[in-house]
Structure 1
Amino acid sequence: MALAFVLSSFLVTLVSYGYIVSTVLHIPSASGCRKPFSTCGSHLTLVFIGYSSTIFLYVLPGKAHSVEVNKTVALVTSVLTPFLNPFILTLRNETFKAVLRGQMQRLKGLLQAL
């Protein structure tokens, strides 16, 4: 039953991304294609983490998985994915990237001064 639910939602996600890719490829300019693919890439990273951990926990619940491994995967699903979401989506923001580069240069200068 878990396999049907997980794979059906995964199929809907894949079909949606198929439509997105098809639409984006019809954009004539290269710069117009870059932003949607950037957005899709960050979202796909989070989707991959979510689906892989869900499949591991619910679809493949063999005896080979220890309780500690299941706890770790559940922790990834419930803590790591929501924690990474703002960082992955924020790193697409050009202003944030510029501030981050400036801070890294400042830190590099401080480390070299030591």
Structure 2
Amino acid sequence: MMPESIGIGSGVLMLLCFPLNFYVIYTRLEEAEDYLKFSTFIVTFKYRFGVGPLGGKLKRLFAIALVILMPRVFQWRYLVLVEDVKRIPTPLKLWIVVPYLLTMSSMAGMALSWFLTN
């Protein structure tokens, strides 16, 4: 019964993440992209995925979350300036990172429950 409950909990968490992701996409994404307007990775991502479903905004949100979580890795590849990431206010960082982490943890939980049941 344990794997099934993990899968159900992860599915419920995923369903609760969708409204949160949409809220952040339409209220906070442009503000976060303005702080990173000199970052090659973010600008390229914005122009590459700007025409997908929802304007590719969910992909752009997750890209910014990765940059906020691992700025040194992106700076090592000359894609992002760490100074730009440090200028982002902490509440905005939380609005970007928390939906990403919740979505990824629910995906990991669903995958784990699938592996445990098979």
Q: Which has the higher contact order (CA 8 A, sep 6+)?
A: 2
Fold agreement, TM-score > 0.5: no
For normalisation by structure 1, the TM-score amounts to: 0.35
For normalisation by structure 2, the TM-score amounts to: 0.35
- State the structure with more CA Rg: 1
